[in-house]
Structure 1
């Protein structure tokens, strides 16, 4: 009897947590799908920093919990666990906190992409974040 109760409990937990899982959003940059598994938290798309920013041709550095992304004259600095970013030295509030998930540093796609010259659009029906670099930022 104890085994039966345990099985029922485990199945109930699987159903409860399985229903809340979301599929990873697809990330599109300039018409090409990026091989980056993003997550959606608090209505924002978080992406693995290195993959997305190298695709944007930006330099990425990580020192003691701080992520710095540089492209040309533009710099974005984020600190893991803090709800602010520094865009070209200006303090900017974040809607979602950068964090480590499965040993990957996840950062808000919209904020950093827009700071580096890309426009971002969310397509809810297809669960896609579509980024397009502005003409001046493609150089």
Structure 2
């Protein structure tokens, strides 16, 4: 269960790390320095000691944040954009997001897929926590 959750979360992490700055610069109109700062802020590590509740919470936050990316635009306040992206997140996610961008002409479809992956990862982490 945890391996499945890890697969989902790592797909989201690499996809977000790979495309966040490009999306912020090209589609939201954020300057390169600000976009890089937002990417740096998303690198916060967990220090709670119990990964399961953190993973479940992160799954919910990532799903919501990925879904919110669909609505981000140049009129959004930069602090709100930063909060959305710092709440997000290897092998499947990156090419899926890239393919979705090319196929649909933007990042929306790819981030919707990542939101679904976050929910799946959260469900797997929740189930793993309940296993004996």
State TM-score, norm by structure 1.
Answer: 0.25
State TM-score, norm by structure 2.
Answer: 0.26
CA radius of gyration, larger in: 1
Q: Highest relative contact order (Cα 8 Å, sep 6+), 1 or 2?
A: 2
The structure with more strand, counted as a fraction of residues: 1
